[in-house]
Amino acid sequence: MKYKNLGNTDLKVSSLCLGSMQFGWTADEALSLRILSEAYHSGINFIDTANIYSRWAEGNPGGVSERIIGNWLKENKIPREKIVLATKVRGNMGAGKQDEGLSRQHIMKAVEDSLRRLQTDYIDLYQAHWPDDATPIEETLSALDDLVKQGKVRFIGASNYPAWKLMQALWTADKAGLARFDTLQPHFNLVHREEFERDLAEVCHIYQIAVIPYSPLAGGFLTGKYQPNLLPNSARVPGVKQYFTEQNWALLDLMAVIAKRKGAHVSQIALAWLISNPLVASPIIGVNSVEQLKDNLGALKVTLTQEEVHKLDQASRWRAADS
């Protein structure tokens, strides 16, 4: 397993980050605990979660993923310093309007709840899950800065921020002498490039912001299991239909050729493409089985040549200027 510095922080993270949106949703607690242990013993030290995971699932009040991770840390006596633990704040936790957003009041309550569920006294990376237009950025950053000074949070990051809001946050932090966002968690993969590459990539490059992409396999589209005339019986089909284009089918064909040449799987090529990007610290993988985890880990053994990266770039380009 390779390890990288997480932006300007002193955190060293594994080349893949274990996401946990599925914990308590499509993976029950027993399975989630097995996945966590297998990932840890395979060298993954970076775990990403959020306080709202996964409120949308029936019978899930939110906080379930954090609670499972906390139980795993305690039951397995995992040395806390061996894990880089990331969680998020912003979403509605079900107790009315005051229980969401990025106000000081909500952040201060949410962090205590997350610390309790995670059974830890500090969070390595505390992220704003997405912007809050109802709260001044100064208020949000001031609250997060206080948490850093108190030692409850080591570093802060942003998720789902457009470039102008990320720049606004960086400028505000610099002007007021507050903790700044050191990481960005964007939606970024081979078939969803423009959102990140149009403006955010340059911001991250200039200000040395570590990138932690989510949905690296585009909801399963980049695993190769989808074909124009053969669709799997999956609940995810409606969500990935947006990728059913001639360009993307051709991209999958190219990925299959590269994968065969390297003795790899299509999904591993998708992950290897992200890992090859110098801006990317650690793509977030979400798995529902130990077998899926092992398959994703196989991407670490795949090294793409510059020519292969270029061909993938061209096949997935999102504007004529990329050609």
What tokens were used for 102? Answer: 């990025």
Is residue 230 situated within a structural domain?
no
Percent of the residues in the chain that have a pLDDT greater than 70, as a whole number: 96
Is residue 295 situated within a structural domain?
no
The 10s digit of each residue's pLDDT in 286-317 is 999 999 999 999 999 999 999 999 999 999 99
Is residue 16 situated within a structural domain?
yes
Q: Which CATH number goes with the domain that contains 41?
A: 3.20.20.100
Is residue 56 situated within a structural domain?
yes
Burial of residue 129 (CB within 10 Å: 0-12, 13-18, 19+) is buried
The candidate with the shortest Cα–Cα distance to 65, out of 114, 99, 98, is 114
Is residue 238 situated within a structural domain?
no
Q: Is the pLDDT of residue 200 over 70?
A: yes
Is residue 172 situated within a structural domain?
yes
Is residue 78 situated within a structural domain?
yes
Q: Tell me the sheet residues that pair with 192.
A: 189
Whether residue 189 contacts residue 217, with contact meaning beta carbons closer than 8 Å, is answered with yes
Average pLDDT estimate for 177-195: 98
Determine the structural domain holding residue 98 and report its residue range.
Answer: 3-185
Is residue 101 situated within a structural domain?
yes
Which residue numbers are catalytic? 53
Task: Please report the pLDDT score of residue 60 as a whole number.
Answer: 87
Number of domains in the chain: 1
